[in-house]
């Protein structure tokens, strides 16, 4: 059943048109011909939200508001996990022609009294399921991950190295 759902999701995603990366996207972009190495690169970092804007360049305040708990994405073993939203969220992912394709997001269903966290959860869930363009780049010496959706939303994350524990 899961494989059918994944295949259906991928087939449906293949029918959509590719978004054009926004003009303000980072200029030092990773070579898309090496996209097969991107999952390994993504897994080496905790990706913390640095910037988020809509199609008019306006900051997406719903994704901020808790400076001590920045929105974070973690990629490992073909799965993406969202941290610091209201509920635990995650789903399997593939990279298809420079797009992040996330299968149906699964999440716990806890009631959250903090509206900032609820807004954050809704916004990131919608973006991740929109098949955003994935751009890996470097800003200064820090790795950067940009996700750009068809509707012009652009989220930029800064990578912090994952420390391995044994």
Which tokens sit at 26?
């980072």
| pLDDT band at 116; cut points 50, 70, 90 | confident
> What is the CATH classification number for the domain harbouring 103?
2.40.128.270
Beta-strand ranges (E) seen in the chain are 45-53, 72-76, 79-83, 89-96, 99-102, 106-107, 133-139, 142-148, 154-161
Digit-coded pLDDT (tens) for 82-95: 999 888 899 999 99
Q: Is residue 25 part of a domain?
A: no
Q: Which residue has the tokens 């068809």?
A: 150
**Is pLDDT above 80 for 12?**
no
pTM for the structure as a whole: 0.77
Higher pLDDT, 56 or 7: 56
Digit-coded pLDDT (tens) for 130-159: 999 999 998 888 899 999 999 999 999 999
Q: Is residue 48 part of a domain?
A: yes
Count the domains in the chain: 1
Q: What is the rounded CA–CA span in Å between residue 36 and residue 91? A: 19
Q: What is the rounded CA–CA span in Å between residue 31 and residue 46? A: 21
The per-residue pLDDT for 87 is 86
Higher pLDDT, 10 or 165: 165
**Is pLDDT above 50 for 21?**
no
The per-residue pLDDT for 9 is 43
Q: Is residue 73 part of a domain?
A: yes
- Residue numbers of the domain that contains 40: 33-161
Task: Give the SS3 label for residue 153.
Answer: coil
Q: Is residue 40 part of a domain?
A: yes
| pLDDT band at 28; cut points 50, 70, 90 | very low
Q: Is residue 157 part of a domain?
A: yes
């Amino acid at each position: 059943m899961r494989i059918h759902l994944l295949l259906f999701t991928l087939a449906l995603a293949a029918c959509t048109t590719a978004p054009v990366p926004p003009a303000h996207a980072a200029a030092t972009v990773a070579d898309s011909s090496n996209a097969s190495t991107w999952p390994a690169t993504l897994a080496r970092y905790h990706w913390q939200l640095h910037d988020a804007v809509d199609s008019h360049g306006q900051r997406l305040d719903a994704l901020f508001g808790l400076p001590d708990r920045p929105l974070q994405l973690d990629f490992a073993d073909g799965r993406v996990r969202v941290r610091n939203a209201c509920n635990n969220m995650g789903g399997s992912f593939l990279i298809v022609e420079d797009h992040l394709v996330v299968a149906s997001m699964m999440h716990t269903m806890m009631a959250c009294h903090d509206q900032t966290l609820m807004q954050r959860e809704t916004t990131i869930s919608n973006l991740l399921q929109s098949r955003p363009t994935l751009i890996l780049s470097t800003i200064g010496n820090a790795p950067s991950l940009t996700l750009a959706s068809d509707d012009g939303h652009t989220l930029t994350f800064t990578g912090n190295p994952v420390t391995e524990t044994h």
